[in-house]
Amino acid sequence: MKKSSFVLWKVGILILALVEASSATLSPTGINYEVVALVAIKNSLYDPHNVLESWDINSVDPCSWRMVTCSPDGYVSALGLPSQSLSGTLSPWIGNLTNLQSVLLQNNAISGSIPATVGKLEKLQTLDLSNNTLTGGIPDSLGNLRNLNYLRLNNNSLTGPCPESLSTVEGLTLVDLSFNNLSGSLPKISARTFKIIGNPLLCGPKTAGNCSASFPEPLSFPPDALEAQSGSVGKRHRVAIIAGASFGATFIILLLLVLIVWWRYRHNQQIFFDVNEQYDPEVCLGHLRRYTFKELRGATDHFNSKNILGRGGFGIVYKGILNDGTVVAVKRLKDYNTAGGEIQFQTEVEMISLAVHRNLLRLCGFCSTENERLLVYPYMSNGSVASRLREKTDVFGFGILLLELITGQKALDFGRQAKQKGVMLDWVKKLHQEGKLNLMVDKDLKGNFDRIELEEMVQVALLCTQFNPSYRPKMSEVLKMLEGDGLAEKWEASQKVETPRIRSCEHPPQRYSDFIEESSLVVEAMELSGPR
């Protein structure tokens, strides 16, 4: 074979391999079946905020769509649409996305039943359909999800029994079926956390604990035919049966009493966490203090309105003084008894207590009673972050961050070398005016960048760092500009704005650093943006 023919043969083989790889998700008619499935899901939902606007049936590749994540080999691996005000139903076409590993559709208003085709998603690890209005039964096909770790179906209107097939899924970590209308007997599910509270037909009002405990099997009494036996053997047998039944009944009553006492003890100790530090060594809540409600009520002068520091979506924050003189901030949650309020409380205690850093506000402790949920933080006397910002310094800081990402240098370090603040901005503006933006790009990129995108990013950064805060765009406008909407118009308008003059000078300064020397406003903006 001639050398040229051999080269052409190798090129042909390579092209064929690329075509086969790119058409892995295509049907024989050239249609991407994952695109078809996603569009079917979109069509069955009502999307009031148009978050699914980018889902186009004419698209070949869904990996660029919003709320869709793909694996490195180009298959749809995650579908994340939580808290998007979606309604409608969940299409059975979801079963065609066979490479899905995560489905997050919680906190919407999706109705109808759970499609049985979900059981075809053999790679699925997380399924969260909680806080919707789903009805019907839990499909038996969920037992086919051998890789499933987390299953949340709580806060819906599901009916019927909990499928026995779930007991065959061995890798479950969390199963939450609480606050539905399930009935029937419970299978033995091997999940570390199994929640079924709020199902009246499973958990009656007289049931102790959280209904997830395993209670002993009822004793099996002998058939009536045994009573027909005569003689001394029959009498002794009946005596043994009666004694055994009495002993068994006494044992069950004592066991129930022990469970009730144990549950009340745990309740009084305010242990409610899903994660137990005994089984997860990375979680340690030992530094948190459990306050009594009486102690916090006294510290805040009975939650006096004069001690209110602020109000939030989940509660009111009060200033308080403990018995030892420590000044604290006490957050009293409202609507704690709703699913969202209780989840918010547990999330703050479990997650914020783990975020220990010198620059983060640390959680001191909490209080949990039958009617109250409270969180205790250190008192910060200097007010809120918003009170320290001067209504667009965050936009300024974002502009500085963009320049640091482009140049690979820290703005403050850049200024220290010249012993003058604002030098980076002078340098960037000079290179931009001279058309030499390539000189500012991080050397680690080795020239591998898009020049048009570089120009756009520099323009966004310069718009965010304009001297006059009122000329800077809002962060919502910055987001639109980063998506390619309105940047050209904003940039053109900024070039028509006259550079402000300093009263003590006859001529306007030529360097941005001169503005900074004269303006404490921009100095604060630089420093509030913080070290990177």
User: In this predicted model, what pLDDT tens digit does every residue of 438-464 receive, in sequence order?
Assistant: 898 998 888 898 888 899 999 999 999
pLDDT at 356: 62
Report residue 410's pLDDT band, with 50, 70 and 90 as the boundaries. Answer: confident
Record: fold of 33-202: 3.80.10
Domain definitions of the chain by residue range: 33-202, 289-378, 385-494
327-to-228, 364, 381, 459 alpha-carbon distances in Å: 78, 11, 10, 47
Q: Which tokens go with 137?
A: 């039964």
pLDDT tens profile 96-147: 999 999 999 999 999 999 999 999 999 999 999 999 999 999 999 998 999 9
- Asked whether residue 161 carries a pLDDT value surpassing 80, the answer given is yes
Distance CA 442, CA 436 (A): 14
Q: What is the pLDDT of residue 515?
A: 46
CA atoms within 13 A on the CB side of 130: 19
- Which amino acids are annotated as binding site, given as ranges? 331
Average confidence score pLDDT of the chain: 76
Q: Is it the case that residue 279 has pLDDT exceeding 90?
A: no
pLDDT > 90? residue 225: no
Give the pairing of strands 76-80 and 45-46.
unpaired
Residue 286 binned pLDDT confidence (cut-offs 50, 70, 90): low
- CATH classification code of 289-378: 3.30.200.20
CB atoms within 10 A of CB 42: 20
Question: Phi, psi at residue 452, to the nearest 5°?
Answer: -65, -45
Q: According to the model, what pLDDT value does residue 124 have? A: 94
Are residues 118 and 102 in contact, defined by beta-carbon separation less than 8 angstroms? no
Question: What stretch of H or E contains 360?
Answer: none
Whether residue 501 has pLDDT greater than 50: no
Q: Any idea which of 108-112, 130-134, 239-243, 501-505 has the lowest mean pLDDT?
A: 501-505
Fold of 385-494: Transferase(Phosphotransferase); domain 1 (1.10.510)
Q: Give whole-number Cα distances, 457 to 221, 312, 403, 411, in Å.
A: 80, 35, 8, 16
Binding residues for ATP: 331
Tell me what percent of the residues of the chain surpass a pLDDT of 70: 67
Q: Where are the alpha helices (DSSP H) in 353-501?
A: 385-388, 393-407, 411-418, 423-433, 451-464, 475-482, 487-495
Structure tokens of 2? 């001639």
| Highest-confidence segment of 58-62, 169-173, 217-221, 505-509 | 169-173
Q: Say which residue, 297 or 261, is predicted with more confidence.
A: 297
Over residues 151-167, mean pLDDT? 93
Strand-pair partners of 164:
none
| Whole-number pLDDT of residue 40 | 92
Asked if the model's pLDDT at residue 229 lies above 60, the reply is no
Task: Please identify which residue in the block is written with the tokens 């037992």.
Answer: 143
